[in-house]
Amino acid sequence: MPFLDAVRLALQQIRVQKLKSFFTLLGVTIGVMFLIAVVSVVNGMGRYVERDFAGKFLGVNTFHLRKRPDVGGDYSEDEWKRMQQRPPITVEDAYAVRDGLPRTARWAIQDQRWGSPTTRYAKGGPQVLIEAATPGLFAVKDLVVRRGRAFGDQEAAIGASVAVIGQEVADLYFPGVDPIGREVLVDREPFQVIGVLEKQGTVFGFSLDRQIIAPFPSPMYRATRSRDNGLYGVVVQGANAAEQASLQENVREIMRRRHKLRPGAPDDFTLESSETALAQWLALKRYLVLAGIALPAIGLVVGAIVIMNIMLVAVAERTREIGVRKSLGARRRDILGQFLAESTALSVAGAALGVALGVALAAVVRAATPLPTEVALWSVLVSVGLGAGVGIVAGVYPASRAARLDPIVALRSE
């Protein structure tokens, strides 16, 4: 029997028994739905982490010298306490690092804490990131000033009370007015706004547009200064990944010397790069991928068993029909093909439904949670392929039983 006739027959069978078909498909549908959804989360997160988080938030080919890790990680309480005991990263350390770096390397001091600025134009607003940084930060973080200008070395050298603000700070604290040239107060200290940054968006629900950057040193340093006088961090950027790695060793050397660490003693500071953050992401990704395989696999196995059962019932119910078809000249492969096409069509229909639901689920996750999902085309293709595979595997046994039926016996059945 031509393939198209077999498929047409199968679809007709599905149409006639909509509800039964739906329940038959449930396993495959759920399996595929999870596959699409989990892959879309992994895919979306991966892009986000690799491009936005590592790039925008931490900077490309950069690493941070800190007292202890900032991006988080898997540390016990003891380890965390021990890291609290470490000596602070001082301003002197920062300049020593700068002086020890080759000319090609970029460097910046970045001190920060959360705070509430005030202006004459707004009653208040959300907390923003208050930063005191050397001018190099703009280049390292690839911060683009959309309006006005960034501050330069001279303003940093004299500790000028100027500030560059993020887009959201401009919108929220200067509603309806041009912030350039106007005043923003941090801890009652006034800063003149000289630039507004280009909109950067959010990373994991954290807005990169809520920041105020003033020169280091400037009165802002008083606002950001921590109790132990330590800096939040020193940022170093290499031209590429290889240079970044060698710069890390460079800085490690300088810091170990300054802290007079014996050979073999562990570092009492942290060099945190985008790879550190990526490593954590990769660990998480492993679990997600595992879930992304296990959940659909369960669904597909259940789906295959259900389809096999339904097909066995169909063969039993339609024994007479099989006998009639055989008496009219259907060969074994015609009957085999008919039932295989039916189980495959069922399963592919289930997979198609699963793709639709999976895409919808991914959209819901994107809308309702900070998880940035992105449906991968390959997962759709794999799903349809898996659907067809499940249908064929589940259909082989029932279909071969149907094909082997003795026409005389089949014709006699009720």
| Residue 218 to residues 191, 225, 285, Cα–Cα distance (Å) | 10, 11, 42
| Phi and psi torsions of 191, nearest 5° | -130, 140
Q: How far is the CB of 355 from another protein (least distance, A)?
A: 29
Question: Is 19 an interacting residue with respect to another protein (CB under 8 A)?
Answer: no
Among 51, 222, 286, 333, the residue binding another protein under the rule CB under 8 A is 333
| Residue 63 to residues 132, 221, 247, 371, 407, Cα–Cα distance (Å) | 18, 22, 9, 25, 77
Question: Is 413 an interacting residue with respect to another protein (CB under 8 A)?
Answer: no
| Residue 374 to residues 57, 187, 189, Cα–Cα distance (Å) | 20, 42, 44
Give me 203's structure tokens.
């990373």
Question: Is 16 an interacting residue with respect to another protein (CB under 8 A)?
Answer: yes
Q: Which residue, 211 or 319, has its beta carbon nearer to another protein?
A: 319
Question: Is 401 an interacting residue with respect to another protein (CB under 8 A)?
Answer: no
Residues touching another protein, count (CB under 8 A): 22
Dist. CA 119–CA 117, nearest whole Å? 7
Select from 51-59, 216-224, 237-245, 325-333 the region that touches another protein (CB under 8 A).
Answer: 325-333
Among 5, 142, 228, 317, the residue binding another protein under the rule CB under 8 A is 5
| Phi and psi torsions of 296, nearest 5° | -60, -35
Q: Which residue, 280 or 400, has its beta carbon nearer to another protein?
A: 400
Dist. CA 136–CA 187, nearest whole Å? 25
Q: Which residue, 1 or 91, has its beta carbon nearer to another protein?
A: 1
Q: Which residue, 183 or 334, has its beta carbon nearer to another protein?
A: 334
Give me 279's structure tokens.
């490593």
Question: Is 87 an interacting residue with respect to another protein (CB under 8 A)?
Answer: no
Q: How far is the CB of 284 from another protein (least distance, A)?
A: 52
Q: How far is the CB of 332 from another protein (least distance, A)?
A: 6
Helix (H, G, I), strand (E, B), or coil: what is residue 222? helix
Question: Is 317 an interacting residue with respect to another protein (CB under 8 A)?
Answer: no
Question: Is 371 an interacting residue with respect to another protein (CB under 8 A)?
Answer: no
What are the residues whose beta carbons fall under 8 Å from the beta carbon of 362, sequence distance 6 or more? 36, 37, 40, 41, 44, 373, 374, 375
Q: Which residue, 195 or 323, has its beta carbon nearer to another protein?
A: 323
Give me 351's structure tokens.
């997979």
Question: Is 96 an interacting residue with respect to another protein (CB under 8 A)?
Answer: no
